[in-house]
Amino acid sequence: MANITAQTQTANLDIEDGRSGGGSRSQDSPRPPIFISFVQKLFGEFVGTFSLVFAGCSAIVVNDTYGKPVTLPGIALTWGLSVMVMTYSIGHISGAHFNPAITIALASSRKFPLKQVPGYIAAQVLGSTLAIESLRLLFNLNNNGCSLKGAIYVGTHPSSSNTAAFVVEFFATFNLLFVISAVATDKRANRSFAGLAIGATVVLDILFGGPISGASMNPARSLAPAYIWGCYKDLWIYIVAPVVGALTADEYGANGATDSRRQEPAKTMLKKSSLAGDQSPNNGKRGRKKIPANKSRHRSLSESFRDRKERERAENFNNWLFRYWVFV
């Protein structure tokens, strides 16, 4: 018994020191990579979508229930802060899509696996639906909020024409996905401020698009209240417009200024520019001629000698000026 206890204590010490019975691991050996399963990603999308939809729609309910103390800037700030917090919290796990339009757009440009799209969309719609249902039960909202005049309805619907709502949803989602492509998916960008930039974009979109269309930018956010209250009128606007806007923005980002794959290296651009001159023998008259190495070195020495003379002349003038000032 004592022998077994001693062996157990030795094994525990080996485990604490990072060693096993079969050998030892050096301290400099790299740690194994952290594996994130697909279920963890789906759970992250579910939690993130639930949190931002619950917080944003709660601001709408509080604003309509208690005499509009939140106002439109407060609602926009609530949505933006929710997106920012969830992006920093879950971005390293699932990518922080929280939006079927973003998932579809990233998959179309091969920035996201196509086989994971159905699972992501299902998690986002489920999270949004449970958030709206929890909100309805918490605030005891009327079940006929869609048709009953004066009832609180947290869904999105056009306040003017369908054309204006479609255009606003298109440009709002375009703006959102363009910023995401610029600060989050581009390898050249500083991703430390990605969440802040994306959250600020959501605030901006709601400020100019909220009074016109509700500034959904998210099919899951509009589909959930439509399903809970049974209000499917004009729902197609909030499904088609965000998807088309996101696809357009991602395509522009993939083919335009925000894609590093299409950008030429700086050296190649310098060689092709007129400042560097054309080195081809056919266009010898254009641009500057190629300078030999010895002449280039001689020119650099001449320039350094000229700079030194200018510096000495300036120092002599300063000394003369100082002496004149002391004498006077």
Q: For 113-163, how does the pLDDT look when each residue is reduced to its tens digit (9 = 90+)?
A: 999 999 999 999 999 999 999 999 999 888 776 766 667 889 999 998 999
Per-residue burial over 47-76, b = 16 or more CB atoms within 10 Å of its CB, e = otherwise? bbbbbbbbbbbbbbbbbbeeeeebeeeebb
pLDDT band for position 251 (cuts 50, 70, 90): confident
Average pLDDT over every residue of 244-267? 65
Tell me: pLDDT of 322 over 90: no
Average pLDDT over every residue of 21-48? 70
Tell me: pLDDT of 95 over 60: yes
Average pLDDT over every residue of 233-252? 94
Question: Which pLDDT value is given to residue 23?
Answer: 43
Q: Against a cut of 0.75, is the pTM above it? A: no
Choose between 281 and 182: higher pLDDT. 182
Tell me: pLDDT of 297 over 90: no
Choose between 320 and 281: higher pLDDT. 320
Question: Which pLDDT value is given to residue 15?
Answer: 34
Question: Which pLDDT value is given to residue 300?
Answer: 57
Tell me: pLDDT of 281 over 50: no
Q: Which of 20-29, 39-48, 250-259 has the lowest mean pLDDT?
A: 20-29
Average pLDDT over every residue of 258-272? 44
The tokens for 43 are 């759970």
| Domains parsed from the chain with CATH numbers | 36-258 (1.20.1080.10)
Q: What percentage of the chain exceeds 90 in pLDDT?
A: 53
Tell me: pLDDT of 280 over 50: no
The tokens for 67 are 């005499």
Question: Which pLDDT value is given to residue 260?
Answer: 46
Choose between 96 and 188: higher pLDDT. 96
What residue type is 324 in one-letter code?
Y
Alpha carbon 128 to chain centroid, angstroms: 20
Question: Which pLDDT value is given to residue 24?
Answer: 42
Contacts of 278 (CB under 8 A, 6+ apart): 284, 286, 287
Backbone angles phi, psi at 23, to 5 degrees: 170, -175
Contact (CB, 8 A) for 223 and 128 = yes
Task: Share the mean pLDDT of the chain.
Answer: 78
Question: Which pLDDT value is given to residue 5?
Answer: 44
Question: Which pLDDT value is given to residue 303?
Answer: 59
Tell me: pLDDT of 296 over 70: no
Q: Which of 42-56, 71-85, 253-267, 309-323 has the lowest mean pLDDT?
A: 253-267
